[in-house]
């Protein structure tokens, strides 16, 4: 007989969440991780110079504090501490000014001047309804508990970011909106790109965009330690290439994307399901940079020096053009850059007086082009003298990102494009997206709803489904 009732393959945030959910229900779980350390996209390391701690993948975590599952866990008991900047995101312009997304909804709206009313009319109802719709948004497709409120969200969320920008009149508000929607990692003219921007704005006002003290690894360590405290077992350096490698268990959950799932267990699936996984669409990749800096980044706009995240792209038109080019397979000369500066708020990230910074831009899927100069030119454009402060840098192209985290196929950090077709039908059209045709085999990665982001909800919902199907244990209010 097997020592374990369930096996989870992959110890990223979703694998960890699935393992915890199963273990909490009394199911004995073995969590397998191919790398030397757990975490997936939640790893922190000295990748430039000694003493400079860089988040190798994710850095800013709005969805972690918005996650109903994470909020149900005593992660603070394991040392997890979030630092929440008052300015969640700043957006600099060529004239030295900036638009800002602050924790305060009213302050943000007022700072938009002529667009105060437009912002208020768009965002105020979302904030009012957020407690009601958030659980539905962060789960699989089902009939919502609050259909009217969800419908009001959907009216705006299912439109393209380019279309919804028409609600604003000033370039300042349009650009701020473009930066939010740019997190969708696709052309802003695509349907449903507004959903990403609206969710991020709502979370900024409700919870903020936090920075984990000590690095993103703090989230992974807290989750892992809680899992172990429940009696769970973690094995690292345990790459899984075939089901034959696994000990016998009643259920196996995979925190992998469709491509890896086919490689590991494809011979157990129907031809129809296999074709669906083969047609699964991955999105644009990213090129990532980390810097060790002598001083903080000298942004011209003072608001940018006080922001945890800085969206670098100038106007709405410039950002939309950049994203459109990348989606078409072209590398923009002036890419939209997403930048984080955690050491401004967390002194543990660098030697005294020194700083770290983290940035990436979107590139065509699988791109091998070095975007270092393009990214640094964009930062220098809004922070003259920035390049002179660089002590060391670390770069990762799409292939290096995928080698580091195999779920980043072609550099896609979302586990597949989150477009209208794959918003809720990822990775395949099934009554439950977490199931496969093979009994006892489930998928729990960001390739399932609600998609990318460090929230653990994909793993949580997949584990709930497995508990119901295989162990007749119901721990979720949803029926799916």
Q: Which domains does the chain have, with CATH numbers?
A: 6-80+212-281+406-471 (3.50.50.60)
Tens of pLDDT, residue by residue, the chain (480 residues): 468 999 999 999 999 999 999 999 999 999 999 999 999 999 999 999 999 999 999 999 999 999 999 999 999 999 999 999 999 999 999 999 999 999 999 999 999 999 999 999 999 999 999 999 999 999 998 889 999 999 999 999 999 999 999 999 999 999 999 999 999 999 999 999 999 999 999 999 999 999 999 999 999 999 999 999 999 999 999 999 999 999 999 999 999 999 999 999 999 999 999 999 999 999 999 999 999 999 999 999 999 999 999 999 999 999 999 999 999 999 999 999 999 999 999 999 999 999 999 999 999 999 999 999 999 999 999 999 999 999 999 999 999 999 999 999 999 999 999 998 898 889 999 999 999 999 999 999 999 999 999 999 999 999 999 999 999 999 875 543
CA-wise closest residue to 173 among 150, 201, 154, 196? 201
Taking 3-state DSSP, the helix, strand and coil percentages for the chain, each rounded to the nearest 5, stand at 40, 15, 45
Tokens for 82?
A: 């979030």
CA distances for 81 relative to 65, 212, 217, 218, 380, angstroms: 11, 6, 11, 8, 32
CA triple 9-12-18, angle to 5 deg = 60
450 preceded by cis ω (within 30°)?
yes
Task: Count CB atoms within 10 A of the CB of residue 392.
Answer: 12
Enter the pTM of the model.
0.96
CA triple 328-179-211, angle to 5 deg = 120
């Amino acid at each position: 007989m097997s020592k374990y009732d369930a096996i989870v393959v992959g110890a990223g945030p979703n694998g960890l969440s699935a393992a915890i959910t199963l273990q909490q229900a009394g199911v004995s779980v073995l969590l397998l991780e191919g790398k030397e350390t757990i975490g997936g996209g939640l790893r922190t390391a000295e990748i430039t110079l000694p003493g400079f701690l860089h988040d190798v993948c994710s850095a800013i975590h709005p969805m972690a504090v918005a996650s109903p599952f994470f909020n149900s866990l005593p992660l603070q008991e394991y040392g997890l501490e979030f630092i929440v900047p008052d300015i969640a995101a700043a957006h600099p312009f060529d004239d030295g000014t900036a638009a800002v997304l602050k924790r305060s909804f009213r302050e943000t709206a007022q700072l938009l001047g002529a667009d105060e009313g437009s912002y208020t009319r768009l965002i105020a109802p979302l904030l009012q309804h957020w407690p009601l719709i958030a659980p539905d948004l962060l789960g699989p497709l089902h009939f919502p508990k609050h259909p009217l409120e969800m419908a009001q969200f959907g009216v705006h969320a299912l439109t393209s970011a380019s279309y919804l920008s028409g609600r604003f009149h000033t370039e300042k508000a349009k650009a701020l909106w473009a930066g939010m929607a740019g997190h969708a990692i696709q052309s802003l003219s695509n349907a449903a790109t507004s959903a990403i921007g609206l969710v991020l704005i709502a979370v900024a006002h409700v919870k903020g965009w936090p920075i984990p003290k000590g690095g993103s690894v703090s989230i992974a360590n807290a989750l892992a330690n809680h899992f172990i405290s429940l009696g769970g077992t973690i094995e690292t350096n345990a790459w899984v290439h075939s089901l034959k490698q696994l000990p016998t268990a009643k259920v196996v959950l995979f925190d992998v994307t469709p491509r890896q799932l086919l490689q590991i267990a494809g011979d157990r699936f129907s031809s129809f399901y296999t074709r669906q996984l083969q047609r699964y669409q991955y999105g644009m990749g990213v090129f990532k940079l980390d810097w060790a800096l002598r001083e903080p980044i000298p942004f011209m706009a003072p608001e940018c020096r006080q922001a945890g995240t800085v969206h670098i792209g100038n106007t709405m038109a410039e950002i939309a053009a950049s994203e459109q080019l990348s989606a078409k397979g072209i590398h923009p000369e002036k890419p939209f850059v997403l930048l984080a500066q955690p050491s401004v708020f967390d002194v543990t990230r660098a030697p005294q007086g020194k700083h770290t910074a983290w940035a990436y831009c979107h590139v065509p899927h699988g791109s091998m082009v070095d975007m270092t100069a393009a990214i640094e030119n964009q930062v220098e454009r809004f922070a003259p003298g920035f390049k002179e402060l660089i002590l060391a840098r670390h770069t990762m192209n799409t292939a290096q990102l995928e080698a580091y985290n195999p779920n980043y196929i072609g550099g896609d950090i979302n586990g597949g494009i989150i477009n209208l077709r794959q918003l809720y039908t990822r990775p395949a059209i099934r009554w439950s997206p977490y199931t496969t045709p093979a009994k006892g085999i489930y998928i729990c990665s960001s390739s399932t709803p609600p998609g990318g982001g460090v929230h653990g909800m994909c793993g949580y919902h997949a584990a709930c489904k497995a508990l119901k199907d295989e162990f007749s244990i119901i721990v979720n209010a949803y029926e799916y």
